[in-house]
Structure 1
Amino acid sequence: MKKNLQDFAGQLLLVGCGNMAGAMLERWLEWGLNPAQVAIIDPQAAPREKIAQFTSIAEWQAAGRSADWIMLGMKPQQLGEVAEQLGPHITNEVRLLSILAGVSLADLAARFPEAKGHIRILPNLAARIGAGVSAVASLGDADASVVTPLLATLGDVVPLAEDSTMDLVTAFTGSGPAYVFRMIEAYAAAGERLGLSPEDSLALANATFGGASALLAESGERPAALIAQVASKGGTTQAGLDVLDGDGQLAALLTNVLRAARDRGRELADIARGES
């Protein structure tokens, strides 16, 4: 059991505790965060031992007044409701953290003007095992480094100079694991269609993608250099690469995937601001 967060100070209130916020919380508890320092506002969240969970508006307000840290992890469309019920009860000693897709730092500052600092975090699901990446941006004088002890337990931390890039990062790294999982699923399905059993195809696909990613990370080489080590001219690998690279279709497909996810993040921001 890791104990790196035993010295974490203050009370942490999670507003929303779904898949992403829940994965972050489980990792923090594993690394020594005291459950008595955590409270949750989320009627849908599964009960967690020794962690207070609030459901009524009165409890929300009391929790907001007593919190030192508040992390917004609900749906972006719920921002207006949460700001209305919780915002007036946040003191100027509270640091506000947000993992809400599409909700900018300016939006947060407008909704929660009394907060001591506004910090936007974009983690991804691999945070559950400490292999994630968290992009982080802060507003004005807010120092994003104050959340480094929390975020470092989740994996890599990448500070962003501009909050305006967060919509693309949301699509690129936040949504990214789902796209990788889909590609592994499709790769396994292709193996099955060509004659492998479903079990063997999925096991081999998982091992192939996992091993390739581990090798890329460990070697420090560029992907192209490793491709050259696998593919030989006129060989089987090159025959497959010729299909993947044909007419730039793969790059175009992934560009369209990221564009769609980025644009949806912007739409969610408009909804959160009541503009759509």
Structure 2
Amino acid sequence: MSNEIILVGAGHMGYAMLEGWLGAEILKPEQVVVVEPAEALRDRVEEHGCAAVSSAADLGDDLKPQIIVLAIKPQMMNDILPDYKRFGAAETTFLSVAAGTSIATIEGHTGPSPVIRVMPNTPSAIGEGMLGVFANERVSDETMQFVDQLLVTSGDVVHVEREEQIDAITAISGSGPGYVFHFIEALTEAAKAVGFEEDTALLLAKQTIYGSACLAMESENSPTELRKQVTSPNGTTAAALAVLMEGDAMTKLVTRAVTAARDRAVELGK
């Protein structure tokens, strides 16, 4: 695929995706045109050799992008999408990373078009993300294969069969880093409560979460089996888990949190 890709938005997520594409040499700088109103963000894009403009009005009339990547906030979609209606055709695929913005909403502005919804998360910025993908029936197999090449530079990719599952992925892996970061905060405060200074408490919490996540990914054992392995009868871990697991308290709380996030993603799409 030699035609241009238009990247709309070069903020945290858009820029991270761009770096992944270029770093993996899947795209050359001259294949990407970035639309970004902020001058400072345009400047760092141009340092990579990519063309950057401040608005869709500055895009050339002869431009025929293969893919338009919408890396903008969902609240901005209805204002920005009309500027790209001229690209709405079977030859251009729209790839959206905006939470809650449905394919129907996008097509309402672009007309019937190939559309792919992607839900990344913040670890995508370091190539360790979890990305959920749903494509409508207008997306060609060739385009989907190419998009998968782009996405795996940001992390692992899972395809879902129904669009509403993207809202569930938003609640689990999209918002999930926030839950993990809060647990790190809580574990840090607990470490301070039993006598450690801030820096040591934070290191203990972060490295424990990081190491445990790495072990869970690399081990052939399930998280349940790993939990049992570290839990000696009547030991320290058992004493702690008796609190966390009493009445399935943590599972119920996390399920409530995920459901609330999923419901909010649905609301954003209305």
TM > 0.5 fold call: yes
Alignment of 1:97 onto 2:90:
no
Q: 1:85 to 1:34 in 2, by over 3 A?
A: same
1:59 corresponding residue in structure 2: 58
Note if contact 1:28-1:153 (Cα within 8 Å) is conserved in structure 2.
yes
Note if contact 1:67-1:94 (Cα within 8 Å) is conserved in structure 2.
yes
1:259 corresponding residue in structure 2: 259
Map residues 1-276 of structure 1 onto 2, 5 A cutoff.
Answer: 9-32=2-25, 33-44=27-38, 46=41, 47=43, 48=45, 49=47, 50-60=49-59, 62=60, 65-115=63-113, 117-142=114-139, 143=141, 144-270=144-270
Instruction: Figure out how many residues of one structure are paired with residues of the other and give that number.
Output: 261
Aligned counterparts of 1:237 and 1:57: Cα–Cα separation in 2 = 57
Note if contact 1:13-1:64 (Cα within 8 Å) is conserved in structure 2.
no
Per the TM alignment, residue 155 of structure 1 is displaced from its structure 2 partner at its CA by 1.8
Note if contact 2:118-2:132 (Cα within 8 Å) is conserved in structure 1.
yes
User: Secondary structure of 1:148's match?
Assistant: helix
- Amino acid paired to 1:254: V
Aligned counterparts of 1:249 and 1:53: Cα–Cα separation in 2 = 50
> What are the superposed Cα offsets for residues 198-242 of structure 1, whole Å, 9 maximum, x if unpaired?
111111111111111111111121111111111111111000001
Q: 1:230 to 1:236 in 2, by over 3 A?
A: same
Runs of 4 or more above 4 Å deviation: none
- TM-score, L = length of structure 2: 0.90
**Percentage identity across paired residues of the two chains:** 36
- Amino acid paired to 2:52: Q
Aligned counterparts of 1:131 and 1:163: Cα–Cα separation in 2 = 23
> What are the superposed Cα offsets for residues 106-155 of structure 1, whole Å, 9 maximum, x if unpaired?
3223322253x211111122222222121111101413333111112222
CA RMSD of aligned residues (A): 1.9
**Residue segments in structure 2 that go unaligned for 5+ positions in a row:** none
Aligned counterparts of 1:63 and 1:199: Cα–Cα separation in 2 = 55
- Amino acid paired to 2:81: A
